[in-house]
C-alpha cells in the first residue's frame, strides 16, 4: 500500500494549537494510518512566537516531520507562484511540499490560494480547516 502524507499549513497548525477537535481528529486518523505528518518549515516560522506562547506548537512539532527545503523545493515553489500569479512564498512552499510528499492531504485555511497553487495536480487533496 502506498504511504500517504498529511501536510499542515499555518491555519491548520493554529487550529490544532487552539484545540480544534475536527483538525485533531484528522491528525489522529493520519497517525493511526501510519501517514507521514508534515509541517513545512515556513509554517513553523509563521506560527512560532517565542516561549511560553509556543508550548502547544513545540508539543505538536515533537511528533511531526519538518522537512528540509533545499534548492529544488524552493525553485518548485517559485514556479508554482509564477503559474498561479500569487506572491505568498510560504503558501507556495507548503504546496510544493504537498506535491513532493504526495499522495498527500493538505489541511489549509486558505483553500482558494492553495487550489490556485495546486493547479489540479494529482496526488494532492486540499481540505479546508
Domain region containing 26: 5-128
pLDDT given at position 39: 97
Give the CATH number for residue 122: 3.40.50.1010
pLDDT at 63: 92
pLDDT given for residue 120 in this prediction:
85
Q: Identify the segments of the chain with pLDDT beneath 70.
A: 1-3
Q: pTM here?
A: 0.93
Q: What is the pLDDT of residue 18?
A: 92
Q: Which residues contact 124 (CB under 8 A, 6 or more apart)?
A: 95, 98, 99, 102, 103, 104, 106, 118
54, containing H or E segment: none
- Residue 2 has what pLDDT? 62
Tell me how far CA of residue 47 lies from CA of 4, 41, 52, 79, 84, in angstroms. 24, 10, 13, 24, 24
Compute and round to an integer the Cα radius of gyration of the chain: 14
Tens digits of per-residue pLDDT, 20-50?
A: 999 999 999 999 999 999 999 999 999 999 8
Burial class (CB in 10 A: 0-12, 13-18, 19+), 28: exposed
Q: What is d(CA 115, CA 122) in angstroms, rounded to the nearest whole number?
A: 12
- What total number of domains does the chain contain? 1
The x, y and z cell numbers of residue 26, run together, are 484528522
Amino acid at each position: 500500500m502506498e504511504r500517504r502524507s498529511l501536510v499542515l499549513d499555518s491555519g491548520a497548525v493554529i487550529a490544532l494549537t487552539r484545540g480544534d477537535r475536527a483538525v485533531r481528529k484528522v491528525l489522529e486518523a493520519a497517525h493511526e494510518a501510519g501517514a507521514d505528518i508534515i509541517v513545512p518549515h515556513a509554517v513553523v516560522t509563521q506560527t512560532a512566537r517565542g516561549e511560553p506562547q509556543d508550548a502547544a506548537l513545540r508539543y505538536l512539532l515533537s511528533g511531526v516531520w519538518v522537512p528540509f527545503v533545499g534548492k529544488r523545493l524552493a525553485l518548485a515553489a517559485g514556479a508554482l507562484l509564477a503559474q498561479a500569479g500569487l506572491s505568498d512564498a510560504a503558501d507556495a512552499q507548503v504546496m510544493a511540499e504537498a506535491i513532493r510528499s504526495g499522495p498527500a492531504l493538505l489541511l489549509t485555511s486558505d483553500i482558494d490560494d492553495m487550489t490556485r497553487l495546486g493547479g489540479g495536480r494529482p496526488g494532492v487533496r486540499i481540505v479546508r480547516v
